[in-house]
Structure 1
């Protein structure tokens, strides 16, 4: 496992981010693979993938790898300094602010590790859950800078997570639409989704999702712009339906409810994600066998396979 280092952003010098860095093989213009965490798992869960990929590519060109924990996450114990004056610290900053922090972080990494300007370093972004939203926002905010994205079970960025399920209290609700699932079961699932997953629910990291629907209103757009105006390569990965249904049942929703409503909804979202680049640069959505939402934990070998395939296109 790579040693954890710490870095203070020049834009937020009073706090430090924890990160790991793995140097590339000797190339004049190294590709930098950046791993973007979800809210649930910190950077440590990317290390088995890096280790396996290094072994797989021991006779081939290796990119540089960087992982990091955002403010208030994992081994980064410092909070985002701007959250200090927030009315609600669990909603201290939004995803766009995290993307700006990422930009500054990568600017300093490129300068410190490569003595290069970030604009001359090809980026491959690998995200899970909300990390996929951050990857998309980064590619939108800094067009032409991202050469590849591997999106592992993206957060439903434009959803309140409650509307995934029919509303029994709606005037046009038809009980036949949920049969044979009892109405009370749907009401309970909606209440649970509101309590746990709604964007109004904050987190200890302080990364607010309240405006994520405005930042990323559509799963299928806007069309991203890669280097030289083409691409970027995008691979969209979804969870295994059965594994996710079992995983979800531990938090409340019965498997039939997840299979009936959540899995088809999520798959349609992923079908849209595959359209954020030109068709010849797109792959997916594909399913990670046996993996629930945290694909990098449940099936790291699959992630290694897909990331290696993506790297073959950009190295």
Structure 2
């Protein structure tokens, strides 16, 4: 079955609980901004996440600069589109959205997981519009070269087909609602409730978004050129991966985590002003929710370094 356009499970008007919809190239895209100042911080969600998953760190960053979160097409409250998509397409869409919302560059791009690919691709395509990069537990096109052979084979075996995944049971839905209630306890109640129901209705989206890693994403980034000489920070999560634990031994997981740490250090070392920071105990999916202080501190530091660039 070919990939299907993703649709939200909210009211027919598709109004988000926060932010507004902007018309971009015939599609409506959700963007929420707060704060004032430059460079603007722009959050690029990981696969299966949406802009409002980053509300806590977005609001904290808004205390000292313009802070923006958004939903790319096919996710969140933005219009549906066939998934997966090429990174360059996602980048040009975000660029057009920022212009439509009158958010001037350059930008500090905060990319999480899949969003880190898109942040790096933005920097490859439009280096003059990027003031800095913050990559939250990013993947990379050369990741398999850093993992033990058994982990690479296991990664292949764990691939999911979103169209073959069964529906969630009532028990799973109840458990998920309880987990989301704890995870997003600091979110305003209307946002928390809408975000929870959205995730429960569209949980296959994260799998769909990553179906083209091997066929398009990796190749486009690998041959897209180097990154600009801007401040870059990589925040790496060290928490135990519960999904891996279902398939791998403790020894293999330790070796895989060591490989990912080496990869993240290499990403930071790939640019003159790269820095690698470890966030102890953080999970891959929710580093920014569990450890918002680490994310906000990294944003502040990158903005300070970008200010030095402007003053030079």
After TM superposition, the score normalised by the length of structure 1 is: 0.69
Larger relative contact order (C-alpha < 8 A, sep ≥ 6)?
2
Q: Summarize the alignment of residues 106-255 of structure 1 with structure 2, pairs less than 5 Å apart.
A: 106-110=98-102, 118=104, 121-159=105-143, 164-166=147-149, 189-190=154-155, 192-195=157-160, 203-205=207-209, 208-209=212-213, 210-217=215-222, 222-225=225-228, 231-240=229-238, 243-246=239-242, 248-249=244-245, 251-255=246-250
> Is the Cα–Cα contact under 8 Å of residues 162 and 190 in structure 1 kept in the other structure?
no
Q: CA RMSD in A?
A: 3.1
- In structure 2, runs of 5+ residues without a counterpart are 1-15, 163-204, 308-312
C-alpha separation in 2, matches of 1:162 and 1:282: 21
Q: Once the two structures are superposed, what CA deviation does each residue of 1:179-227 show, in whole Å capped at 9, x if it has no partner? A: xxxxxxx798355334479xxx984458732212212228xx94422xx
More helix, by proportion = 2
| 2:63 equivalent to 1:65 | no
Specify which of 30, 41, 56 is matched with residue 18 of structure 1: 30
C-alpha separation in 1, matches of 2:142 and 2:298: 26
C-alpha separation in 2, matches of 1:265 and 1:37: 24
After TM superposition, the score normalised by the length of structure 2 is: 0.70
> Is the Cα–Cα contact under 8 Å of residues 192 and 252 in structure 1 kept in the other structure?
no
What is the count of residue pairs matched by the alignment?
Answer: 248
What residue is the counterpart of 1:267 in the other structure?
Answer: 261
Q: Once the two structures are superposed, what CA deviation does each residue of 1:100-126 show, in whole Å capped at 9, x if it has no partner? A: 11111122222xx5xxxx4xx221000
> Is the Cα–Cα contact under 8 Å of residues 269 and 275 in structure 2 kept in the other structure?
no
Give SS of 2:259's match.
helix
C-alpha separation in 2, matches of 1:299 and 1:165: 29
What residue is the counterpart of 1:94 in the other structure?
Answer: 86
Higher Cα radius of gyration: 1
Q: Structure 2 vs 1, CA of residues 53 and 21 (structure 1 numbering), >3 Å: closer, same or farther?
A: closer
- In structure 1, runs of 5+ residues without a counterpart are 84-89, 168-185, 226-230
